[in-house]
Structure 1
Amino acid sequence: MTADTELDALFAAAQAAQGQAYAPYSRFTVGAAILAEDGRIYPGCNVENAAYPVGACAEAGAISAMVAGGARAIRAILVIGDGAELVTPCGACRQRIREFAAPETPILIAGPDGIRARFSLAELLPASFGPANLPK
């Protein structure tokens, strides 16, 4: 798991990214932040589009930022959203996370007041298909 200062930094980055989200249609803003293997934090936010299926999730944005920054492995990811229900990654984002994360990678789910739940990637995406399933 990550240290308290890393968790604080992840939360702050995800919360700041959530504030930048572009969600004029749903008005449901989501932020995410990845702690990469290199110790850097990569934020992302959801970006909607008038052609609904074309939007991008916060987790996808954070993964893209991480890859563009040269990192290739997720040590932890934090997702923040508003409302009473947990805002966990959608199925497509769980698979995106799987591409760069191990089954034991922590997925932290937060609301405005802090972390609400912790899961491993294996708990959210059991018996997953990933890079190891493909021939090298």
Structure 2
Amino acid sequence: MSDAKISEANWNQLREAANTAMKKAYVPYSKFPVGAAALTEDGRIVSGCNVENASYGLTLCAECSLVSELAMTAVVGKGPAKLIAFTCVDGHGNILMPCGRCRQLLFEHSAKGMILETVSGFKTIDEVIPDAFGPRDLEERA
């Protein structure tokens, strides 16, 4: 998978979905809304926003709610579709890089070669979390 296979129209749709999700963020403490959106291998767009909590440590990142939507919209018995393209924005629509925890979460649900729009351009999931360990490793070692 390369960014050449994801059209500019797809990226525009993802950015729009991420910005829409960002506007729904619950951020009474940090005042830092985040929205995320991803394209699945079956052509759907899933999105999420951050949801803060007074205990801070229980705050959910936008990527967490995106993956929750991915799971909740999966075909029963088939499991969630894999993610092929991802973007994340702040309250001004600027591109954000997912934190390390969220990169691992995205890796878990990514198709091989998933493309992320990052602050330094388009990168594959393997570039943003090199030598990651995930479900493909477990399948290969079974």
- TM-score, with length taken from structure 1: 0.87
1:66 has 2:67 as partner = no
* Cα distance per residue 1:73-107 (max 9 Å; x no partner): 00111111147x86211111111111111452111
Looking at structure 2, the residues matched to 35 and 133 of structure 1 have their Cα atoms a distance apart, in angstroms, of 23
1:25 has 2:34 as partner = no
- Work out which of the residue numbers 128, 131, 134 in structure 1 matches 2:135: 131
Aligned 1:1-136 pairs, distance under 5 A: 1=3, 2-70=6-74, 71-82=80-91, 87-109=96-118, 117-134=121-138, 135-136=141-142
Distance 1:19 1:109, change over 3 A: farther
Looking at structure 2, the residues matched to 69 and 102 of structure 1 have their Cα atoms a distance apart, in angstroms, of 17
Q: Where does structure 2 lack aligned partners over 5 or more consecutive residues?
A: 75-79
Structure 1: 4+ residue segments shifted above 4 A: none
Residue identity opposite 2:65 in structure 1: G
Looking at structure 1, the residues matched to 45 and 9 of structure 2 have their Cα atoms a distance apart, in angstroms, of 12
**1:77 aligned counterpart, secondary structure:** strand
Backbone CA RMSD of aligned residues: 1.9
Residue identity opposite 2:9 in structure 1: T
Aligned residues: 130
- TM-score, with length taken from structure 2: 0.83
Looking at structure 2, the residues matched to 90 and 102 of structure 1 have their Cα atoms a distance apart, in angstroms, of 19
Q: Where does structure 1 lack aligned partners over 5 or more consecutive residues?
A: 111-115
